[in-house]
Amino acid sequence: MKLSAFSKSKYLWPVVLGFSLLVYAIGMLVTVMEIDGAVYAEISREMVERGNWLELFLKGQDWLDKPHFQFWMTAISFKVFGINSFSYKLPAVLFMLLGAFYTYRFATKFYSKKHGFLAALLLITSQHIITSNSDVRAEPYLTGLTIFSLYYLAIYLKEKKISQMLLGSLGLACLLMTKGLFTIIPPASGIGLALIYEKRWKEILHWQWIVIAVITLVFIIPTLYGYYLQFDSHPEKVIFGKQNVSGIKFFLWDSQWGRFTNTGPIKGSGDPAFFLHTMLWAYLPWAFIAYFALFNKGKSLIRNTNKHENYTFFGFVFLFIVFSLSSFQLPHYLNALFPFLSVITADAILRLVRNRKILNAFYHIQMWSAILLMLAVLLIHFTFSDVFPKVDTIIIFILGIGIIILLLKKKGQKLRKIIFISAIVVLLANYYINRNFYPQLLTYQSESQVALYMKNHKMNEGKLVTLGVREEMVSFLQNRIVPAYEIELVKPYDLNGQFVFTNNAGIDRIKSMKLNYEEIQSFPDFRITTLNGTFLNKKTRARELEVKYLLEIQ
């Protein structure tokens, strides 16, 4: 198949783009998930409630973990669209789409328009990118801002426009204000290592980098001042069990960067191979081609035969190695690197036509991966649920499978089939997940279920308190700080005349205080962001469930 034939697949591009946006839109309607999503949503809600945009609070208490940018974006969305799950997720999805746009622009600038379209397609259809737009944390912001900053810094090196320097610096500043110091490593290492490899010593030693650093520092002044105002100017505050805690130091070192060096308050133990196998599912369905692309790109750099940019390769590989050697590892750390990987992988895919054997090999890999993914959806559905899929899900599957059959009926055109069949299958799988699986899964998130129950039964939400359970999600959904009591410290007068959301330990405490209560409703509970096989199997699920209760104290 010639590249010219690939470019004639014009009708497939809007179909896949439209389908991607539909999957994203459905995911935005899914209720926010505990724990991280609920915490971030509640912090943003309290920011709006207080009218204080420089200090961060959770349940009325000082909060020191992630910096401000994500909460500013969410709070703006809350101000415009109200306090709800959709408005929490909207700015994150917009930043993700910003990332897709700048992935397209970067690949178009340094390769071709075909590369740009394909790189953007790979990004928006990779599994963990889709997941992160349903279970929203900081990653969509990082994904968009990382490629945004690299794009403007890279073209600044070519065109030397002040506007490009300012935008690149703004991107770096927003990255810093989203998740700390490590976030600027991909664009910084991508630029720096590429310049070293290309022996562009004048660029490396140029005064421009001092200017960029100063501009970036100016842009992060709001976060620095906010941390100073909330923590550094109040050494008497007890944070993490200590006094004299510097918010600025925590922001610049102890927070996310401290996790990698294992010097922060949150520690872990790492596995050097963790991200190698994580990428197999996180970058599904493109992971096998991505490994091939990285190998080929590395080989061309060693042989000095690479004719295109090196920023994306060095930016991806350097932080991937840092992640792999770190002691604190989570799958979503890779998301910010996926725009870089998508540019590299798009180039490799468009080169497949040059070697028929490799093209045939990847054709079979991708088709079998598509079959296995569809079988996995069927297995999950029949194992997890007794509920028939929604009518629109059936219609979408029929349409998607129809397009796949039409593609398969055409002889040859393997490159087109690799791209579009893979994309359609992963989108079908995620349409099912967002439209059917997540809504059923969320029935086991008791924190949101109790809020929904009280709203549907027109109960006095202002009388709800919690005892011994998390309450960020309830506070967010009820648009107020729900009073929370520890089991060991609660007093009878805290609960008298209240509705109490609690667990079995809380009931035992209530009994020990000789309070009379009525059980209004019980809720099965499971931490739905940490799924396992026992829970997913409807026959064994009961073993994994905790029960929480809504009580009325007489």
Helix axis angle for 69-81 and 162-179, nearest 10°, is 90
Distances (CA, A) of 382 to 287, 378, 385, 401: 27, 6, 6, 20
Residues 401-416 have a mean pLDDT of 91
DSSP letter at 463 equals G
- C-beta of residue 96 within 8 angstroms of C-beta of residue 125: no
Tokens 């690799």 map to which residue?
418
The angle formed by the CA atoms of residues 393, 395 and 396, to the nearest 5 degrees, is: 65
* 467-492 as b/e: b if 16+ CB within 10 A: bbbbbbbbbbbbebbbbbbebeebee
- The pLDDT-based confidence of 2 (bands split at 50, 70, 90) is very low
Other residues' Cβ atoms within 10 Å of the Cβ of residue 359: 17
Kindly tell me if the per-residue pLDDT of 31 is higher than 90: yes
Q: What is the pLDDT of residue 259?
A: 62
Residues 365-374 have a mean pLDDT of 96
- The pLDDT-based confidence of 269 (bands split at 50, 70, 90) is low
- The pLDDT-based confidence of 6 (bands split at 50, 70, 90) is very low
Return the percentage of the chain with pLDDT > 90, whole number: 86
- The pLDDT-based confidence of 265 (bands split at 50, 70, 90) is low
Residues in the chain: 554
Residues 243-251 have a mean pLDDT of 92
pLDDT digits (tens, 9 = 90+) for 41-69: 999 999 999 999 999 999 999 999 999 99
Kindly tell me if the per-residue pLDDT of 256 is higher than 80: no
> What CA–CA distance (Å, rounded) separates 500 from 507?
10
Kindly tell me if the per-residue pLDDT of 270 is higher than 70: no
Kindly tell me if the per-residue pLDDT of 381 is higher than 60: yes
Q: What is the pLDDT of residue 7?
A: 37
| Widest Cα–Cα separation across the chain | 80
> What CA–CA distance (Å, rounded) separates 44 from 77?
10
Q: What is the pLDDT of residue 110?
A: 97
